[in-house]
Structure 1
Amino acid sequence: MVLDKIKKANDIKKLSPQEVDILRDEIREFLIDSISVTGGHLASNLGVVELTMALHLSLDLPTDKIVWDVGHQSYTHKILTGRKDGFASLRKFGGMSGFPKTDESDCDCFNTGHSSTSISAGLGLAMARQITGDDYHVVSVIGDGALTGGMAYEALNNASSIESNFIIVLNDNNMSISENVGGVSHYLSGFRTADAYRDLKNNVMNSLNQIPVYGERMVKRIRNTKSSIKQLFIPGMFFEEMGIIYLGPVDGSDIGEMCRIFEEAKRVDGPVLVHVITKKGAGYLPAEKFPARFHGAEPFDIATGLPKNKRTKANYTDVFSTVMVKAGERNEKLVAITAAMADGTGLRRYRRCYPKRFFDVGIAEGHAVTFAAGLAKAGLIPVFAVYSSFLQRGFDQIIHDVCIQNLHVIFAIDRAGLVGSDGETHQGIFDISYLSQIPNMTVLAPKNKWELSDMIKFAIDFDGPIAIRYPRGLAYDGLKEYRSPIRFAKSETIFKGTDVAILALGSMVKTAETVCGILKEHGITATLINARFAKPFDGEVIKSLTAHHHTIVTMEENVKSAGFGEHVAEYLEDNGIDLKLINISIPDAYVEHGNVDKLKEMLKIDALSVADRIINEVL
């Protein structure tokens, strides 16, 4: 196999043109075979096989730098830098990350995981090179979807200030451009980057400017005329007006043509954007037909494209989806917002049922929050469904645009807690900390699927900012006999015991239930309280524990710092409550990728570890 010849960076350059063609097919086959076993981001990686190969043929790694926006499309890059064997452990605990990691390879120049960051990071690297006088190329690869994020435009706005080469590759897997426009643009791209053209343009403009009075007018007239012509023929006029030279569009399946245009781009003294047309899921029909399904794929059968492990139970996202559809039927003021994640957050059904009350704002979480604030100010009830780690990007807007005005915006926070395989950039372990510090914010977490339903209904009837955090994965269907009505800032007592009281929040109630069973085997009967509210929490129930308990245990799937446990500790101190506190939470650290159960064991927040700690500290 030609693929076996790729042991390290730049080995692709040793191949003949015929071997390069073979390698393309072998990489695609390898990705399909590998991800069908481990799961991972398939469609996005199949779409950029040729693009990645062309970049590696045109650049010298690791001297040259490639910044991958989001980073979930970097699998071919990992293969071409000698990490093929790592795919057996892809996204597993202790194994290879599904995203670029600087501590994994010196060919990964910048860690990424969230969208719309690559141009900013690449511009920083290029500016640093300009200051230090180093000699290397910087390429930022960004997808057309990531250009819906405002940060990308902030970076583009500043990119024109660089005076040395900076290449932006727009991986466009959505828009189609006709052959006529593409042909004219291709011709003008090559012509405008030629040295002779640039010299002629500069000489003409300089000469005209020397003519008294009329010279400046003539230059202005030429520029206006040139802009009008460009508007007709160049699809990248938007970038040109920002001071960024536009090249393309180029066929993202044509390695030779991309190499040619990358060589042109490398000659530009300043920012240049190369527009590459790709097809998401290219080379595997199921992924081509259903790219969203194969964005983050579970292990699947190659012949059919169907998941190997079929779900028989609903997950929390399914529950949210069902409740939203029913609530939308009852309340015409209910509107739903997503940031390019209608499928992932479960809003696809809502969109189908109530298209006029559904809004996809693109990858723009900050905008989504303030947009929701505007809707709420006008009397509607907006629900912003968003992954926990992505909501971090709207923190400022939550404070200034929602909570200061005390507006009724509902945050449905999916993937709260540990999410597993995507690792540090996707773990939802900070939301309790950053939300609970904001005045006027209310934060809830359900113990099971029925409580999630009840909390959504409570939030719709609420008046003010409110967030409901729920985990990734199957919805817990235990403890269904415990379903007391949701009351503001009130907990729910599940079991009554003595000595130790466990105050568990959300997903940790299930863990605490098991902990109570283990403690009972050691002669410790524990009170189990479902906290329900992270903010404001039930202070009265804590006060009531002093009569029969000497220890309180808080359990949360969030970092310790500024988390639920620390707020409870502060409450105990402020109110002079003499109870020993055991804080069960995630250490203040970034958590790597891996199976969630394995991560919980490592972090010692699994049932056995929690029970052992309580036993050791109590007995």
Structure 2
Amino acid sequence: MSKKPETPLLDQVTFPADMRDMKPTQLKQLADELRAEMISAVSSTGGHFGSGLGVVELTVAIHYVFNTPDDKLIWDVGHQCYPHKILTGRRDRIRTLRQGGGLSGFTKRTESEYDPFGAAHSSTSISAAVGMAMASKFAGKPDKAIAVIGDGAMSAGMAYEAMNNAAQAGNQLVVILNDNDMSIAPPVGAMSAYLSRVLSSREYLSIRDIGRSLMKRLPKQLVTTARRAEEYARGLATGGTLFEELGFYYIGPIDGHNFDHLLPVLENVRDAKEGPILVHVVTEKGRGHPFGKAAADKYHAVPKFDVVTGELKKSTPKAPQYTKVFANSLVQEAEKDDKIVAISAAMPSGTGLDVFGKRFPDRTFDVGIAEQHGVTFAAGMATQGMKPFAAIYSTFLQRAYDQVVHDVAIQKLPVRFAIDRAGLVGSDGQTHAGSFDITYLASLPNMIVMAAGDEAELMHMVATAVAVDDYPTAFRYPRGEGLGVELPAIGSPLEIGRGRILREGSKVAILSLGGRLGEALKAADILDSRGLSTTVADARFAKPLDQAMIRDLAANHEVVITIEEGAIGGFGSHVLEFMSGEGLLDSASFKLRTMKLPDIFQEQDSPEKQYEQAHLTAPYIVETALRALGHNDFEASRGALA
């Protein structure tokens, strides 16, 4: 753990009210200390890094100017909120970030009254802020709602839907566009700051209101001409015409690291009688840390690291990462088939498509944070004979569910969904868990749904998806390392709806789908050692089911246990429905048990502890089998693998 920095000013701040008595000239030192504290904390916990470093001054300025928590501050996406947490009563727990029982890596309503809205998926802030601002208006309260949204999050349509609906919120709504996609260029200097102060001042806004009143008395043609002239004049100086058309009063761009620019503008916005207002702030991702600033992704997210050298403390992998196996397999397939294209929704490195993009830049598409568009874009390509692979995290594919149903499944278009981060994901917690994709995809007609039990199977599933040209396909795989199995030179297409038997027994059958296969094999070892002969089967397909294999397992075993890293309504439910319909559950001598994720949103922890808490580890599989067989000594088995 790094040595904590000296922070005499920050030590005086527990809540934002504590710094509002400070002089503006003290805020730069406060920001410097806040940045040092954040660097120290993240070096010992890991977590999102570059975005938080970029908003330190902005965070201080907002809490200094606005009356939080009465004024509601919403961070979008939420991963830049670490400085905010330090200033809002959580500094004493900041070194528990993303740990079991610790602070969330995102804003969270149950954590603090300063987190009025939980955010970990992007582009929700403006919608929530409009709702809060309208509620304040109805209640007759003066409270503002301030949405801080990154330029990346502005690529999603939801942000524009919200802005189009924002006019009624009036001056109680403030949107701060945090533009960190570029360095601070010359336009964001003294002249721009001066213009922003003037154009946000009460005097200018009052003159504008008078002008509007006068325009109501003018003929319609002159009103239109006058409005266009004013917008054009301000547009030449500041830009922002798009936001003006959506009903916002645009101010900016301003330097998000300069308090001399930030404070007067935010004070003018706070006191404005007109609104809603959008303030365009330019910040530098990774600011204040030389290694974060130099990295290509500005150290977007990091494991623990050395504060002095910047060296990341990564563990040595024992097996290849599933994401890397997918990426390399897709490149192999694309070498043979020029119709294969890859689509990412602002996650090229996270999904491994940066590897594909380097090899096939013209066949790689990053649509931004726009999963809905990405899915329908893929559908459009599929209509023309292309073979699109949409690589999207399970948790983010939820955002495009209507497009999966309406634009892909109904039309039987062969879009290939590569679903990364299936199952529990550790420190990112409940907002990023891939819990529901089996349920929401396997319920759709025309869908083929696969889940990789190991990294070799993932290669075969990529090849299978390439080969299927008359149905949409989906294959899911977990975060992290594979099982260390031997990889084939290249994947081979699987027979659709056909599972595999890995080991044969006669008493208990474990039917696994996806990433719990390793635990199923460990459980079989324990059961065999106790004289309970155990079969392990890898279902491979959640849809269509391998009905012949299920019938055989039911006919030749006393107990069949299904296990999956998905929510209720998934693979186990489909097996149960099939067995019930076939009359396979009518025998008193046969028992079926389903193991799945619990019906809760699980908190962050290490993936190992999360699966332990979910009772999806080998000892719990053993316990489930023993209970089904009527044994009473299952307690000892729980510690068998300790």
Structure 1 length-normalised TM: 0.95
**Pick from 114, 132, 155: which aligns with 1:107?**
114
Pairing partner for 2:515 from 501, 507, 512: 507
Q: Give CA deviations for 1:418-461 in whole Å, capped at 9, x if unaligned.
A: 00101111000111011111111111111111111111011101
* Deviates most, 522-531 or 287-296: 287-296
1:3 to partner: Cα distance: 2.2
Q: Which residue of 1 aligns with 2:83?
A: 76
**Is the Cα–Cα contact under 8 Å of residues 554 and 560 in structure 2 kept in the other structure?**
no
One-letter code aligned to 1:612: E
C-alpha distance in 2 between matches for 1:435 and 1:209: 55
Alignment correspondent of 1:250 = 254
Contact 1:45 1:76 in 2 (8 A): yes
| Partner-residue secondary structure (3-state), 1:497 | coil
Map 1:9-158 to 2 at 5 A.
Answer: 9-17=16-24, 19-158=26-165
Amino acid aligned to 2:510: I
Work out the CA distance in 2 between the residues paired with 1:423 and 1:127: 31
Match 1:307 to one of 312, 320, 327: 312
How many angstroms does 1:550 deviate by? 1.9
CA gap 1:3/1:291 in 2 versus in 1, 3 angstroms = farther
> What code does the residue aligned with 2:295 have?
F
RMSD, matched Cα: 1.9
CA contact (8 A) 1:10 1:81 kept: no
2:79 aligned partner, one-letter code: H
Structure 1 residues 92 and 53, CA, compared in 2 at 3 Å: closer, same or farther?
A: same
CA separation of 1:545 and 1:484: change in aligned 2, threshold 3 A: farther
Shift of 1:608: 1.2
Please say which of residues 246-255 and 382-391 is displaced more in the overlay: 246-255
Paired position in structure 2 for 1:530: 538
State the shift of 1:358 in Å.
Answer: 0.6
Equivalent positions of 1:319-398 (< 5 A) are 319-398=325-404
Mean Cα displacement is larger for which, 241-250 or 373-382? 241-250
Cα distance in structure 2, aligned partners of 1:344 and 1:68: 22
> Normalising to structure 2: TM-score of the pair?
0.92
Please state whether the residue corresponding to 2:142 is helix, strand or coil. coil
Q: Decide which moves more: 224-233 or 370-379.
A: 224-233
Structure 1 segment 603-614 matched on structure 2, within 5 A: 603-614=614-625
Contact 1:340 1:362 in 2 (8 A): yes
Once residues 231 and 210 of structure 2 are traced to their aligned partners in structure 1, the CA distance between those partners, rounded to angstroms, is 19
Contact 2:202–2:268 (Cα < 8 Å) also in 1: no
Matching of residues 457-468 of structure 1 within 5 Å: 457-463=463-469, 464-468=471-475
Tell me the alpha carbon deviations over residues 254-285 of structure 1, each in whole angstroms, 9 at most, x when there is no partner.
Answer: 12421211111112332101111100000111
> Is the Cα contact below 8 Å between 2:467 and 2:493 reproduced in 1?
no
In 1, distance between residues paired with 2:296 and 2:13? 28
| Partner Cα separation in structure 1 for residue 259 and residue 196 of structure 2 | 18
Cα distance between partner residues in 2 of 1:372 and 1:582: 38
Question: What's the offset of the Cα at 1:206?
Answer: 3.4
Provide the secondary structure at the position in 2 that maps to 1:429: coil
1:124 counterpart letter in structure 2 = G
Q: Equivalent residue for 2:242?
A: 238
Q: Please say if residues 554 and 582 of structure 1, whose CA atoms lie closer than 8 Å, have aligned partners that are also in contact.
A: yes
What residue is the counterpart of 2:594 in the other structure? 583
Q: Tell me, in whole angstroms, the C-alpha distance in 1 between the residues paired with 2:12 and 2:233.
A: 48
Q: How far has the Cα of 1:183 moved from its partner?
A: 5.2
Moved more, 370-379 or 518-527: 518-527
Which residue number corresponds to residue 302 of structure 2?
Answer: 297
Give the Å deviation of 1:178. Answer: 4.7
Counterpart of 2:375 in structure 1: which amino acid? V
Please show how residues 280-295 of structure 1 align to structure 2 within 5 Å.
280-290=285-295, 292=297, 294-295=299-300
Aligned-residue identity in percent: 42
- 1:572 is paired with a residue of what secondary structure? helix
| Matched AA of 1:501 | A
Mapped pair 1:488 → 2:503? no
Q: 1:519 to 1:172 in 2, by over 3 A?
A: same
The answer on whether the counterparts of 2:193 and 2:261 sit within 8 Å (CA) in structure 1 is no
2:610 to 592, 595, 599: 599
Give CA-to-partner distance per residue, 1:392-422, whole Å, 9 cap, x none: 0010000000111101111000000000101
- Contact 2:464/2:493 (8 A) holds in 1: no
Gaps of 5+ in 2: 1-7, 632-642
Contact 1:186 1:247 in 2 (8 A): no
Q: Does 1:193 align with 2:200?
A: yes
C-alpha contact 2:193 2:255 (8 A) present in aligned 1: no
Deviation at 1:191, TM superposition (A): 3.1
* 1:231 Cα deviation from its structure 2 partner: 3.4
Determine the C-alpha separation between the residues in 2 that align with 1:445 and 1:261: 52
> What is the CA distance between 1:45 and its match in structure 2?
0.6
Pair 1:197–1:480, CA change in 2 (3 A): closer
CA contact (8 A) 1:116 1:152 kept: yes
SS state at 1:276 partner: strand
Residue aligned with 2:558, SS: strand
How big is the shift at 1:614? 1.6
> Which digits, 9 at most, give the CA deviation of each residue in 1:345-403, with x for residues without a partner?
00112111111111000000000000000010011000011111000001000000011
SS in 2 for 1:586: coil
Deviation at 1:88, TM superposition (A): 2.2
From 385, 392, 402, the equivalent of 2:408 is 402
Residues 56 and 291 of structure 1, relative CA distance in 2, 3 Å threshold: farther
How many Å separate the matches in 2 of 1:542 and 1:438?
Answer: 21
Task: Write the letter of the residue equivalent to 1:439.
Answer: P
Q: How many positions carry a matched residue from both structures?
A: 614
Cα contact 2:66–2:270 (8 A) shared by 1: no
Contact 1:493/1:529 (8 A) holds in 2: yes
Q: Which moved more, 1:439-448 or 1:230-239?
A: 230-239
Asked if structure 1 preserves the Cα contact closer than 8 Å seen for 2:238 and 2:253, the reply is no
Distance 2:305 2:208 in 1: 56
SS across alignment from 2:426: coil
Q: Is the 8 A contact 1:144 1:174 kept in 2?
A: yes
2:560 aligned residue (547, 552, 561):
552
Structure 1 residues 13 and 228: CA distance shift in structure 2, 3 A: closer
Q: Check 1:358–1:279 CA distance in 2 against 1; reply closer, same or farther (3 A cut).
A: same
Please report how far the alpha carbon of residue 222 of structure 1 lies from its aligned counterpart in structure 2 after TM superposition: 1.6
Structure 1 residue 20: Cα displacement: 2.8
Q: 1:452 aligns with which of 447, 450, 458?
A: 458
Match for 1:159 among 163, 166, 171? 166
Query: Does the C-alpha gap of structure 1 residues 485 and 390 become closer, same or farther in structure 2, counting only changes over 3 Å?
Result: closer
Q: How far 1:60 sits from its partner (Å)?
A: 1.8
Q: Distance in 2 between matches of 1:338 and 1:550?
A: 45
Q: How far apart are the structure 2 equivalents of 1:593 and 1:194?
A: 45
Q: 1:190 to 1:438 in 2, by over 3 A?
A: same
Give the superposition deviation at 1:189.
3.3
8 Å CA contact 1:375, 1:381 repeated in 2: yes
- 1:12–1:80 CA contact under 8 A, matched in 2: no
**Partner letter of residue 625 of structure 2?**
I
Distance in 2 between residues matched to 1:260 and 1:116, nearest whole Å: 27
Offset of residue 87 of structure 1: 1.9
Distance 1:208 1:18, change over 3 A: closer
The answer on whether the counterparts of 2:450 and 2:542 sit within 8 Å (CA) in structure 1 is yes
Per the alignment, do residues 480 and 493 of structure 1 end up closer, same or farther by CA in structure 2, a change over 3 Å counting?
farther
Q: CA deviation at 1:180?
A: 4.6
Rounded Cα–Cα distance in structure 2 between residues aligned with 1:63 and 1:50: 21
